[in-house]
Structure 1
């Protein structure tokens, strides 16, 4: 955003953080660009999507959990444990974040409740009622001392993408995409 402000100092540009159930703001025209983790929580039809980088997934567990402190885990290590599921719009991509179905084709055990927000997910895990898969680099999970993250081996990563509406004529949208590719792409 700083790059876009620098290149267009007179343009009205602002950042808006969306909850996971607000992703329809892009196709509905309430926002012009979206940086989001995939799979997309919205239908990809009518969108121009550019992959910025892959991000591994991690297992989120209470700090006292039997898997906390492990160097890494595989889906088999937590196959019988319930994973938090998302309510509402987030249900469209909750299977990806719950490994449902599991690599062997079996359904993932469902946690004791559905959550509406990421913060609610953190609380359910901290209380020991379920575990969760989260983006490995999501700092909201790593800043708490009552939670631990463990890298998960053998699962596909999520992707961080910039999405815009196809054929959007606003030049700021194209410039935002350029800035995102320049400053958000990670070199492995």
Structure 2
């Protein structure tokens, strides 16, 4: 019997999982940085190779067929297994290979530089991640991650070490009545209603619309810059870690000390069962460098 699995292109399998996630070829093509007609052709190639229709395209939208629903978890397992295999191979390379992911405005240069000095023959890469690209860590494309909580992955698959804590601050427009306050308690803004946000809150943000104002848009607020723009326009307020200095880049917003809010942890994270020795070396370096750190203040 011909083994179809040996002839499957992982690239096409990945395309299918992204389309299945969105059930929208336009959004899937945008995530994959492909033209929509090209993506449709690639999914057609996969369906032809499998001998099964995976997606039903109707005027009302796209839907997974019975075959598509059955294939999806297998496809996801296949991609995870392929990434793990590549990851294990990299980890056992004689010279070493490490990909370090980092979120928000966190600076990892000193720790990365020290790791490169310790392992001059190793290939050490860094990648800035966003809400939309964070899954590359779960999929094995990133070996170790530096970020602010909260972010979520499958239970039991992740270890974390807290590097330091950051208090949270309120972010408001410079014209907002709270902008001149020395501090504000979280209870004073607890009744605000959130704008829709489909992406994980990996940066610790909680963006709220102003009390009594109906949202003027229904699209999810995902990009950090869009959140700042909403706040600067007076249509929203935000809560973020005090150490996140990206608000300094926007002249229309300011921060106020926020009392009563739980802190945000800056952590180093890795996958349980990690076999790459460079992960532990990098973790040790950055933990040691973060033992003493000044507490950021609001501006």
TM superposition score category, shorter chain reference: 0.7 to 0.9
- The 3-state SS of whatever aligns with 1:16 is strand
| RMSD over equivalenced CA pairs, Å | 2.5
Gaps of at least 5 residues in structure 1 are 101-108
CA distance in 2, matches of 1:186, 1:119: 31
> Which residue of structure 1 lines up, in the alignment, with residue 221 of structure 2?
115
Confirm or deny that 1:98 pairs with 2:217. Answer: no
- Give the corresponding residue for 1:144: 250
Partner residue in 1 for 2:52: none
TM-score by length of 1: 0.83
| Per-residue deviation, residues 117-168 of structure 1 (Å, max 9, x unmatched) | 1111111111111111111111111232210011111111111111001121
Mapped to 1, the partners of 2:277 and 2:287 lie a distance apart of 16
* Larger gyration radius, structure 1 or structure 2: 2
TM-score, length-scaled by structure 2: 0.54
Bigger helix share:
2
1:23 to partner: Cα distance: 1.9
Question: Equivalent residue for 1:42?
Answer: 153
Residue aligned with 2:240, SS? strand
SS at match of 1:21: coil
Structure of higher RCO (CA pairs closer than 8 Å, 6+ residues apart): 1
Q: Say if 2:146 and 2:267, in contact at 8 Å, map to a contact too.
A: yes
- Structure 2 Cα separation of the partners of residues 85 and 153 of structure 1: 25
In structure 1, distance between residues paired with 2:154 and 2:227 = 24
Change in 2 beyond 3 A, CA 1:166/1:111: farther
Which residue of the other structure, out of 265, 268, 289, is the alignment partner of 1:183?
A: 289
Quote how far apart the aligned CAs of 1:27 are. 1.8
Structure 1, 33-42 or 145-154: larger mean CA deviation: 33-42
Unaligned stretches of 5+ residues in structure 2? 1-111, 295-299
Give the deviation of 1:181 after TM superposition.
0.2
